[in-house]
Amino acid sequence: MKKISTILILSLFSFSAFAQIPKLPQLTSYGFRLGLTASPTIGWVKPEQGKSDGIALGFSYGLMGDFNFAPNYSFSTALTITTMNGKSTEVDPTYIKSLDLAANKSIPVAYDLKYKVQYLELPLTIKLKTVKDNGRRYYGQFGLSNSFLLSAKQDAVSSTAQLDNVKISDYTKFYRAGLIIGGGGEFDISANTSFVAGLTFNNGFTNITTDKNRDVRNHYLALNFGVFF
């Protein structure tokens, strides 16, 4: 009987203590935000059979969206048209060899190349945000870049030939994957509108050429601007 009384008393104390703990609000939906984005980019390429030869400017524009699944966490995506440009020096690209431009095809020829590749980009990232303070909050972003080829052109210059805007879509892979890491800030303009500014590094980790004997990867740094509505 004493044991039962003791258990009942302890149970009452536990229930009383639990009842005094403030209940957290049951937040099940944090909303979805849609906006417009535009980003100048600085791109470069890294060929394994050759060398990178400087940067080239590009541009990205389109829609962006945040699915907020917790107070400070969002699943962030976008749908953009992104140009990834870059320069390299490579020996005898496949399509150039097929044009029979070299007087002696047995001698390798080095070409200064400029890649001008345009993708439809669908990033899938997680965005970690700080608590909003005076209409400002900051974020870090990490995830996967998915890019689908829209067009690909190339300028090629050697000691014996010069080609401009050659279409190389048939020699460029349709899908490109990359790793995204970035950060920035979000600043309220009005109750429902905010301005976003940030910096993103997109590190391509798949070969963009269809040539089995070559491996070329492209990367870019973007200065992100956008408006959420």
What pLDDT is recorded for position 213?
Answer: 86
What pLDDT is recorded for position 104?
Answer: 54
Is 141's pLDDT higher than 80?
Answer: yes
Is 221's pLDDT higher than 90?
Answer: yes
Q: Work out the number of other CB atoms within 10 angstroms of the CB of residue 184.
A: 19
Contact (Cβ atoms closer than 8 angstroms) between residue 62 and residue 79: yes
Domains of the chain: 30-180+188-228 (2.40.160)
**How does residue 13 score in pLDDT terms, banded at 50, 70 and 90?**
very low
Q: What is the mean pLDDT of residues 3-11?
A: 44
Q: What is the mean pLDDT of residues 81-88?
A: 97
Q: What is the pLDDT of residues 157-207, one digit of tens each?
A: 988 888 999 999 999 999 999 999 999 999 999 888 999 999 999 999 999
DSSP string, the chain: -HHHHHHHHHHHHHHHHHHHSPPPP------EEEEEEEEEEEEEEEESSEEE---EEEEEEEEEEEEEEETTEEEEEEEEEEEEEEEEEEE--HHHHTTT--SSTTS--EEEEEEEEEEEE--EEEEEEPPPBTTEEEEEEEEEEEEEEEEEEEEEE-SS-EEEEEE-GGGB-SEEEEEEEEEEEEEESSSS-EEEEEEEEEEE-S--B--TT--EEEEEEEEEEEEE-
What pLDDT is recorded for position 93?
Answer: 81
Q: Work out the number of other CB atoms within 10 angstroms of the CB of residue 169.
A: 14
pTM of the predicted structure, to 2 decimals: 0.82
Dihedral sign for Cα 90, 91, 92, 94, please.
negative
Q: Lowest mean pLDDT of 1-10, 120-129, 147-156, 165-174, name the range.
A: 1-10
What pLDDT is recorded for position 222?
Answer: 98
Is 3's pLDDT higher than 60?
Answer: no
What pLDDT is recorded for position 105?
Answer: 61
What pLDDT is recorded for position 16?
Answer: 47
Query: Whole-angstrom Cα distance, residue 54 to residue 51?
Result: 9
Q: What is the mean pLDDT of residues 90-97?
A: 79
Q: Which of 225, 219, 223, 229 is nearest to 84 (CA)?
A: 219
SS3 readout for 142-170: EEEEEEEEEEEEEEEECCCCEEEEEECHH
Is 23's pLDDT higher than 60?
Answer: no
